[in-house]
Chains A and B, each alone.
Chain A
């Protein structure tokens, strides 16, 4: 078993644990953290693939994604804080306005 396969498995594990975190957890901060987990899982996958096939596009893409993730966390945290301040919500089960 090559070491790259272990990286891929780890990246799948990271992605899935982030995904389940998004599905199961209700706290908005936890949701954001889980999203970060998913993104980093994907990043790990991309870099591992690069290593396997000997390319560089995956690493470039991973860099872009880091940037996007940083921006997203900034905006996301801002939104969470704003919602908390405005409505007093801290769990996603209270935000059901999408239905209406």
Chain B
């Protein structure tokens, strides 16, 4: 009992490894928290614009929600393949890990393609950063801001994962590296959960 209490106290007093995790994982979590705050700021300002608005468009009339749900399906599936890759890497099956990372890259690329098509369709219908045909002009601004920033994160993730897959194929990747890339990818999926609900559905 006393020993357990002493151990707990030691963990909170700093020491060599207070989080009982490697520095890379701790730094990745800190990055996720700070990047999450960036998106929280965007979504809070979006909420502010929604409260101010008199004529916020009905999302179902602007977007095909089934199409957006299909994008969500692709991203969630890519998260599952990424988690499977991390699991395989931890078990030392680096070849299988590389294959699952590749499947994740494919998922990310499909998501980006679908998002590019969505942007193209809306731009063709007259949507711009400051104007759109559906009412409140902040609608266009927040659409491009939120999906654009998220999309840039997806693109970054696809590049990181492609490099990880190549390194895994050459036997250069370590389980830790795949886990860090996975944490970033799941964060991208996590952010989409908020954008999908708050921007497309509410």
A and B together in one complex? no
B interface residues with partner A (beta carbon < 8 Å): none
A interface residues with partner B (beta carbon < 8 Å): none
